[in-house]
Each structure stands twice: as structure tokens, then as C-alpha cells.
Amino acid sequence: MTETLRIGIAGLGTVGAGVVKLLAQNGDMISARAGRRIEISAVSARDRKKDRGVDLGRFRWFDDPISLATDPGVDAIVELIGGADGAAKALAEATLSRGKTFVTANKALLAHHGAQLATLAEKSKSAFMFEASVAGGIPIVKALREGLAANRLSRVFGILNGTCNYILTKMEATGRDFADVLAEAQKLGYAEADPAFDIDGIDTAHKLAVLTSLAFGMPVAFDAIHVEGIRRVAAVDIAYAAELGHRIKLLAVARRTPHGIEQRVHPALVPLSHPIAHVDGVFNAVVAEGDFVGRTVFEGRGAGEGPTASAVVADLIDVAAGRRVPAFGVPASSLAKQPLAPMDRHVGPYYLRLTVYDRPGVIADIAAVLRDEAVSIESLLQRGRAETVPVVMLVHETEEARMRRAVEKIAALKAVTEPPRVIRREIL
Amino acid sequence: MTETLRIGIAGLGTVGAGVVKLLAQNGDMISARAGRRIEISAVSARDRKKDRGVDLGRFRWFDDPISLATDPGVDAIVELIGGADGAAKALAEATLSRGKTFVTANKALLAHHGAQLATLAEKSKSAFMFEASVAGGIPIVKALREGLAANRLSRVFGILNGTCNYILTKMEATGRDFADVLAEAQKLGYAEADPAFDIDGIDTAHKLAVLTSLAFGMPVAFDAIHVEGIRRVAAVDIAYAAELGHRIKLLAVARRTPHGIEQRVHPALVPLSHPIAHVDGVFNAVVAEGDFVGRTVFEGRGAGEGPTASAVVADLIDVAAGRRVPAFGVPASSLAKQPLAPMDRHVGPYYLRLTVYDRPGVIADIAAVLRDEAVSIESLLQRGRAETVPVVMLVHETEEARMRRAVEKIAALKAVTEPPRVIRREIL
């Protein structure tokens, strides 16, 4: 195992350039750790002329990424094209079916075709690695697949999208509203011109699908994820949450429940006493809870040139050193479909904000509705004296379906002047 | 690779019993992940009759742990005896020299003989694994050795001793003094009857020696660590630190400096804005800073039956699956001795608490001494009016030798009535 591992990089955006820089800058150390050299043999991207801030003149260039996979001078492909289908998927299949290593940062591809590609990789005895696909530089795939492998996990959750976390952190710090902070984030380059993919929770859900599969040994089940983004989070809710000892974060949660595996992405109140509440700005974090290890927390930068390149090259070092692990921790054939819990059966505590006429008896009416659905009030804030006033409540654990019914009835009360705002809380 | 991996466990204390329980409870899942069964073949401990809460009747019993290593029915040893020398070291040598796998939770052994044992393991092509030796259930050895392997690290630091962190957390929460909280911790079983090993920082230093070697690719250099424990941390300092936006933690720090690798264990003020400030009670955390990944934080339970067993079995799964990694990340022959920075050359900011007569001109005298040593004041608190009053200062980064000289001169001022208290701050 002293020959060089020759890699082909498909896609030369920010991360591709980062991988080129990293291998140049830390090459000697990487060789010592991998037991042999890792060298870029060829690259593929659309625009040959674009200045990427790195010297690409030494590498062979292919216009068609598939040629990288068929090239006899390439042992391993680093796929940084992106997208669930199209060129990325074709390249994955071309690479893995030839028994070559496929390393990717592509969470959409994994969320949609992860199990199928893992099966293909096993058939052809190729390595299929994707540390960079979830939580950037945090080695969370390795942690779930190897570091915590002795544990039966009960819940995995985290903050997986830096754009959303930046916006929510900024909203809290400044008291400004969502649209305003989003516009600023776009100006600063922290949010895309079309931000829907991030702020509507899709990107987070792609990553959660991968974590769920790793944590519970089941095939990725992206379509079963309940997804809500952060568009409706109001500055006033962040302020009330803070008053009640909580922060609002966009959480991705996968857990075992009596009704099956529950997967959900939504804004949630988290108590300040838990480390996840202190993960700010563009940082990501993942919490894994195991039967022997208890609670573990992993935090770091979730995106960007350096962190993502760090994860890609860690995978390459493992491959170069001959370390092999099944893509999702167990052989693809043992990935067992598990019952998936419907969101109606979700059980948890909630935050509820109402706007009501400031009249005697209003709280009594609301409390009666909650009582009828067996929803129990934990705390209640009523602020100011005006024609309409906000009423903010934390309620104890209840079933989502019950909560929904209660909120519908409350919304129909004459004294309630605006649609109620409900945000889930995560028990930590 | 379908035969069973047969292990021998030496030492059946809390962690040994945990490993027995874990393998029984999660055995099927572990087989799926390891690709073969991991079974206990034999055990060794002093007292056969002691009730350990697990059924040991199925296993062969050896009085002498060395017999485990020589037994042809044992492929891998789990060493949970403890201690830097004696039985643990003899067992390590007997195991590794026979080409068998040696898995240990023994940080003292690693801190004193890690490099030598790594060399022996390489010669005989045996696996030498020690995830459980640092930070309990947190897979930090794997993270440094594999997950962050693409990075040149600049600093690794953390909270590595649950007893100390429990005491400091409790002191802050209750305002009570060290001796009082220690006595309570001993009653509750969170501190040993002889607590010196924990509270004087030795246990933390053992673990730091391992992290330094992994992070910087050098042989363990335990004797070069500057070690101070928490006995002198006063409740009043914790309170002032809080007022100034900091917490006091027992930190273990290894970093590259212009004078070489610096390794130190001491109480330190950490700003509330950093995640390490929120690691409370018996939790441990490690922060690793790399040139590409930036800051990563790993948190979890640092000791105890479940977390330590989780780490031991993760190592066994890697071994059973055939995954091999050099003990300290690079071949033992490439572990390069590096210059070690003396503590006099340490550069950092400090916290300083003085007790002085409440007279005009006292602050001017103190400020003049600091000026003469080019130590610059960042903030200053003076509280109350009485015969003697506390003066608390944060000073900017300066060299340790200068700070020491300044403090000696300040202590000699007539207006200063008690020995000054100096605590380092960590720049985060």
C-alpha cells in the first residue's frame, strides 16, 4: 500500500478549490497519516477559464465528469457537483460500479439515493464515503458510524443549516424581524439569492435523512420527514422565548417513539441550560443520545471551503489507509425498514402565543378549551393593557393532534383576534 | 473475517462490568457493525466472589492477568487494571509482543509509556487502542486521529476531569467554598476519599499528554506539562469572574507557540461566549482548532460505567472490522520530538485579585508596577469602602515571567495586605 491514491475531483466550486488547497498545504502530514500519498490526478468542471484562486494547470482536465470515473489514472472520485440526480448520480453509479472509491459532500444525492448507492458500493466492493455531506467539518458521520457504534441511540438531533442559524441568532441579537435579517444575510453572502432551500428546511431535511439512517440502521427515508422552515418565526416569539429561558433554533430531530422512528425539521424552543442553545451564528451542532454513552454533543462549522474540505480529505485518508466501513454503518442488506411515526402522534411540549381582547373571562375560555383536550398549562404570560394584548403560554407534553384541535378551537374564539402561533419545544 | 473476536477482560471494576453488560445488551447490533461477533472468552480480577451486578459464570477466570495474554483462546485484551506500571504495563507488553490487540482505558499507562507501547505494537503488527483513556464516552481519540486528520492543529484544550468540573460548577451555583463542596462531593461519590489525583490536576495531565501526542504527532511528554489543580480556587474569584462575563474551569491546554509546544493544566477564566464555558457538572469537553476545519467542540460524559464501556467497545468494533490506525495517528517512528515551550514564555491574559488598604494612591502604585512590566490593564473593579477592599483586574496578554515579576512587586507594596491571587485567562 505504498502507491499513490490518485483522485479525480468533479466540481470546482468553493469546496473543490478548498480540497486542492488542503492537499497542497498539508500533503506531507496527510501522507504520514494515510501511509501513502494522495494526489489529484484529474479534475472536471464546466468553466476552464474561471479563476478559482488555486493553480489547476498541473491536473488533467475532463469536460465530462463521467470520464473521470472511467479514466484508468483515477482511483477515487470526489463529487462536488451537487443535486440529487443528473450528473452527480450518474457519476456515483459510474464510479461505484467500477469498484472505485466515491467520496461526496452531496446530501441531496444521499437523501434520495443513499441506500441504493450503498448497495451498489457493496456489490462492487468500493468505498462510499460522505462525511462532508452533514454538518461540514464536524466528523459526525464517523462519530455515529464508528465512535458511538456500541450504542443503541434513542435520539439524534441538531442544528444543521448555518444560514438559518445565522438568521435566528441575528434576529435575537438585534430584535429585528425575519425579512429584514434575511435581506441583510443575502447582502453579506450568508444566504443565497433564492434562499428557499435553506430557510424552508429542505437542506436540513436532506442532512437529517442521512443522520437517521446512520443512527437507526434504516434506509434513508427523506419523504417521511416533517419539514417546516423559519419564515414564520417572529422577533416577538424569540423575545418571549428568551424571557421564558429558551432560544428558538431550527432543529432537525430523529428519535425512536412507540409509534416508530420520528423525523422532523422545525423551529423549536430549546432551554438555555442545554448546550444546543448556545450554538450561534454559522455553527452547526449534533447531539446524539445513546444507551451507554448518554448525551454527546458535536459542534463546529457546518459549511464553507475549509471545513468541508477537511471532511472530504478525512474520508480520503481513511480510504488511502485501507480503512473500510459500510456506508451506513451496517451492510446495506441489513438496513431494515422501520415503522415511521406520523406527526399527528408526535408527543412534546409547546409554546403558544395568542393575541386577544383584553377582557375578563378570555383566559378562562382559553383554559377551558385546553382542559377539554387534556392540554395542561405550564406557565402563562400576559403583557400590557390595551385593546388587544399578547398571551404567551408554555404547555406540558401532549399529542400533536390534540394540540392542533385545541388551537383550532382557540382560534375560533371571538376574543382571539389573530391566528395563534404555535412552536414546538424540545425536551432536553 | 467471520470468526468471533474473543476478548479477555483484565480488571472487573465499574468499567469492566459495563463492558460485560454492553456486549450482552447490544451484541446483535455490534455484530452487524463489526461484521463478526465479539465475545468475552475469559476474565481476570483479584476477587472472584465480589458481586459485580453481572453474571460472570460463563467466562473462564484467570487469577494472573498475564495468563489472559498467553491464552490461545484470547485474541484481544481489554485492560482495566489501571496504573502507569506494574500489572497493567506487564500485560500491555505481554499482549502486544504476541501480536494481539490491546484495548485500554488507562491514561496513566499512556502518559508514561504510550510511545514505547506504540512502537511495540507496530513491530508486532498488533492493534493498540485507547479511546476510553481520554474524556470517557466522547470519541475524541478517533476525532483527532481520523476525523480531523486533514488538519494541522494549532490548539487542543478541554475540560477532562469530571470531579473538578463538578466541584467548580457546584461552587458557582451555591457560592460555597472549595473545601465544603469537596467534602460534599466525597459524600456523594463524585470525589475519591483521597482526591489529590483529581483535584491537583494529575488525572487531567495524563489525558492531556495523550491529546498532545495525537494532535501534534509527537511522543507523549507528560513530564513537560505545567500542572496546577483547583485547591486554591476561591468562591469569591468565581463570583468576580461571573461579574466579568467569565467562568472558571480547570483547563488542559496544548498549543503550538513560537517557543514550541506548550502543555498546561490550570484553572482558567473562560468567556461565557465560548461553548466550553457551558460545560457543567460531570461533563467533559474537548475543543480542537484546525487550519481548515476551524473550531470543533466535542462534549459528553467523561467517566463512568456506560460512557467508558461505550468507548472500549467502539475500539473493539474497529478491531473486529479490521480497521487499523497507528496508535498516535502516524507510525511510531515518525512521532517527532518537538521543542517544548517553558511556562515562563507563556503569553496570555490574566485575572488578578488584590486585597488593599482603602487609601488614595494605592491604585496608582499598582498601576505603576504593571506599567513598568508593560502589563496593560483591561478592566478594574474596586468594591465597597472598608479598611481593606478587594481590587479585581483583568489584564491584557503578557508574558508569564513579566506577570510573575509584576505580581511579586505588587505583593511587596505596603498597601497590599494579602497575597495576590492570579488566575490565567484563555483567549477563545
Residues A147 and A179 in one domain: yes
Closest C-alpha among A337, A376, A304 to residue A15: A304
Residue B397 is part of which domain span? 347-425
- For residue A232 the three cell numbers come to 414564520
Residues A117 and A180 in one domain: no
Residues B10 and B113 in one domain: yes
Closest C-alpha among B265, B298, B315, B329 to residue B15: B315
Domain membership flag for residue B39: yes
Do the beta carbons of residue B348 and residue B397 sit within 8 Å?
Answer: yes
Residues A215 and A187 in one domain: yes
Domain membership flag for residue A336: no
Domain membership flag for residue A277: yes
Domain membership flag for residue B342: no
**Cβ of A290 and B310 within 8 Å?**
yes
User: Touching check for A30 and chain B: CB below 8 Å?
Assistant: yes
> Other C-beta atoms within 10 Å of A227: how many?
16
Domain membership flag for residue B335: no
Residues A186 and A280 in one domain: yes
Determine the pLDDT at residue A2.
Answer: 61
Domain boundary residue among B301, B319, B335?
B301
Beta bridge mates, A392: A353, A381
A207 is catalytic: yes
Residues A276 and A355 in one domain: no
Q: How confident is the model at residue A47 (pLDDT cuts 50, 70, 90)?
A: confident
User: Touching check for B330 and chain A: CB below 8 Å?
Assistant: yes
- For residue A219, the domain's CATH number is 3.30.360.10
ipTM exceeding cut-off 0.90 for this assembly: yes
Determine the pLDDT at residue B48.
Answer: 84
User: Touching check for B281 and chain A: CB below 8 Å?
Assistant: no
**Cβ of B292 and A331 within 8 Å?**
no
Closest C-alpha among B289, B299, B15, B270 to residue B160: B299
Closest C-alpha among B160, B254, B161, B158 to residue B214: B254
Across the range A303-315, mean pLDDT stands at 97
Across the range A38-46, mean pLDDT stands at 96
**Cβ of B146 and A295 within 8 Å?**
no
Residues B53 and B122 in one domain: yes
Q: What is the pLDDT of residues A232-253, one digit of tens each?
A: 999 999 999 999 999 999 999 9
- Phi and psi based region of residue B361 (left: phi greater than 0; alpha: psi -120 to 50; beta: remaining): left
User: Touching check for B333 and chain A: CB below 8 Å?
Assistant: no
Q: What is the pLDDT of residues A197-215, one digit of tens each?
A: 999 999 999 999 999 999 9
User: Touching check for A295 and chain B: CB below 8 Å?
Assistant: yes
- For residue A42, the domain's CATH number is 3.40.50.720
Q: How confident is the model at residue A383 (pLDDT cuts 50, 70, 90)?
A: confident
Q: What is the pLDDT of residues A98-157, one digit of tens each?
A: 999 999 999 999 999 999 999 999 999 999 999 999 999 999 999 999 999 999 999 999
Among partner residues A310, A326, A330, which is closest to B292 by beta-carbon distance?
A: A310
Domain membership flag for residue B214: yes
User: Touching check for B162 and chain A: CB below 8 Å?
Assistant: no
- For residue A91 the three cell numbers come to 457519476
Determine the pLDDT at residue B49.
Answer: 85
Domain membership flag for residue A157: yes
- For residue B124 the three cell numbers come to 508486532
Q: What is the pLDDT of residues A257-268, one digit of tens each?
A: 999 999 999 999
Determine the pLDDT at residue B2.
Answer: 61
Chain B residues with CB-CB distance to A324 below 8 A: 321-323
User: Touching check for B336 and chain A: CB below 8 Å?
Assistant: no
Residues A113 and A226 in one domain: no
- Phi and psi based region of residue A127 (left: phi greater than 0; alpha: psi -120 to 50; beta: remaining): beta
**Cβ of A142 and B147 within 8 Å?**
yes
Among partner residues B147, B300, B331, which is closest to A295 by beta-carbon distance?
A: B300
Query: Which of A:168-227 have CB within 8 Å of B?
Result: 217
Domain membership flag for residue A341: no
Among the options A207, A249, A337, A409, which is catalytic? A207
Determine the pLDDT at residue A301.
Answer: 97
- For residue B359, the domain's CATH number is 3.30.70.260
pLDDT for residue A1 is more than 80:
no
Residues B145 and B224 in one domain: yes
The torsion of the CA quartet B79, B85, B87, B90, rounded to 10 degrees, works out to 90
For residue A62, give the H/E element and its range.
Answer: strand A60-62
A276 CA to chain B: closest CA distance, Å?
A: 9
Number of domains in chain A: 3
- What's the rounded Cα separation, in Å, for the pair A311 and B329? 16
Residues B382 and B285 in one domain: no
Among partner residues B33, B146, B297, which is closest to A329 by beta-carbon distance?
A: B33
Give the mutation candidate from A213, A292, A323 for the B interface (greatest B CB count, under 10 A).
Answer: A292
- For residue B63 the three cell numbers come to 487469577
B315 CA to chain A: closest CA distance, Å?
A: 8
**In chain A, which residue's Cα lies nearest the Cα of B15?**
A292
**pLDDT tens series, chain B, 428 aa:** 469 999 999 999 999 999 999 999 999 999 999 999 999 999 999 888 888 889 888 999 999 999 999 999 999 999 999 999 999 999 999 999 999 999 999 999 999 999 999 999 999 999 999 999 999 999 999 999 999 999 999 999 999 999 999 999 999 999 999 999 999 999 998 899 999 999 999 999 999 999 999 999 999 999 999 999 999 999 999 999 999 999 999 999 999 999 999 999 999 999 999 999 999 999 999 999 999 999 999 999 999 999 999 999 999 999 999 999 999 999 999 999 999 999 999 999 999 999 999 999 999 999 999 999 999 999 999 888 889 999 999 999 999 999 999 999 999 999 999 999 999 999 99
Residues B286 and B178 in one domain: yes
Among partner residues A142, A292, A329, which is closest to B306 by beta-carbon distance?
A: A292
Closest C-alpha among A264, A291, A257, A261 to residue A153: A291
Determine the pLDDT at residue A231.
Answer: 97
**Cβ of A321 and B325 within 8 Å?**
yes
pLDDT for residue A6 is more than 60:
yes
Domain boundary residue among B233, B267, B301?
B301
Cα separations in angstroms, A335 against A116, A157, B333: 11, 20, 41
Residues A196 and A158 in one domain: yes
Domain boundary residue among B267, B301, B335?
B301
Chain A residues with CB-CB distance to B146 below 8 A: 139, 142, 314, 317-318, 323
- What's the rounded Cα separation, in Å, for the pair A222 and B63? 54
Among the options B107, B142, B207, B249, which is catalytic? B207
Do the beta carbons of residue B369 and residue B406 sit within 8 Å?
Answer: yes
**Cβ of B294 and A318 within 8 Å?**
no
A120 CA to chain B: closest CA distance, Å?
A: 18
A257 CA to chain B: closest CA distance, Å?
A: 19
Across the range A304-322, mean pLDDT stands at 98
